[in-house]
Structure 1
Amino acid sequence: MSEQDWRILLVEDHPFQLRATQYLLESYGFTQLTATDSAEAAMQQMLKASQPFDILLCDQCLPDLPGLDLIEFASQRGMIKKAILLSSLTTLELDGLEKMAGEHGLPLLGYLIKPLKQSDFRNLLTSAQL
């Protein structure tokens, strides 16, 4: 399966960031993209999906549930294979979240600072091994 065939679930509550990130991913060639604006909407998409999403790309600061909690929920139920946090938090805060994810055995590839940069995204994807 090539990267472009990966099923990506994007979760971002800010409408502009959601659309901009969706546009960037599509411009990178990702066509199997589902975009939602809340953790609740993401859970609904995962529950009705016939197979796990390859990548959950989610904002850490969602109003209804922190991104890391969404990753844990989805991972424990086999709804995702890997995850990436997308955030504007500080590197120190994100390093702490990444460490916490590792301690809990979550399939977090890492984090990306907003706005999404293609090179950073590609670097994380190379480690995905889906």
Structure 2
Amino acid sequence: MFKHDVRILLVEDHPFQLMATQCLLNSYGFHQLTSAYDAESALRLMQQAKMPFEILLCDQCLPDLQGLELIDRASRQGLIQKAIILSSLTLNELDELKNQASERGLPLLGYLTKPLNHWDLKTLLICA
């Protein structure tokens, strides 16, 4: 596939989804991956990083904070450049989240429904 030096933070509370997404990203040549199981850990990793993550891939339904709120906090603190929401919500609910992100000026590239479609993921990452 293609190789990238893009620094990605993947936040996913389901171990299988986390592992599957990591494998998919690796197969596309993305190897600078950092992962977290919840928003608190993700924020800590972002604050400790020497530079902002280029992409935050974030589950919307995390145990400690909604994904859109994590994106908001990270963006306002300059900890990320772009974000993608991962979720099993309905398309209408995801469209509403995308509208909220736009209204708030958040750097949301889009959303991906679970289970992830590898073509959709690849397309969003190329756009990033």
> Does TM, scored on the shorter chain, surpass 0.5?
yes
Measured against the shorter chain, the TM-score band is: over 0.9
SS in 1 for 2:4: helix
Give the Cα–Cα distance (whole angstroms) in 2 for the partners of residues 9 and 123 of structure 1: 18
Deviation per CA, 1:67-126: give whole Å up to 9, x if none: 000000000010000000000000000000000000000000000011222210122123
Q: Structure 2-normalised TM-score?
A: 0.95
The equivalent residue for 2:75 is: 75
Deviation per CA, 1:34-55: give whole Å up to 9, x if none: 0110001100110100000000
* Matched ranges for 1:27-106 at <5 A: 27-106=27-106
Give the Cα–Cα distance (whole angstroms) in 2 for the partners of residues 7 and 115 of structure 1: 23
Q: Structure 1-normalised TM-score?
A: 0.93
Q: Greater CA deviation, 44-53 or 23-32?
A: 23-32
Give the Cα–Cα distance (whole angstroms) in 1 for the partners of residues 70 and 107 of structure 2: 12
SS in 2 for 1:62: coil
2:30 counterpart letter in structure 1 = F
1:76 counterpart letter in structure 2 = R
Gapped regions of structure 1 (runs ≥ 5): none
Deviation per CA, 1:5-58: give whole Å up to 9, x if none: 100000000111111111111111101000110001100110100000000000
The answer to whether the aligner puts 1:5 opposite 2:1 as a matched pair is no
C-alpha contact (below 8 Å) 2:6/2:54 kept by paired residues: yes
Q: How many residues align?
A: 127
- Identical counterparts, % of pairs: 63
SS in 1 for 2:55: strand
SS in 2 for 1:81: strand
Gapped regions of structure 2 (runs ≥ 5): none
The equivalent residue for 2:112 is: 112
Query: Displacement, 1:3?
Result: 6.1
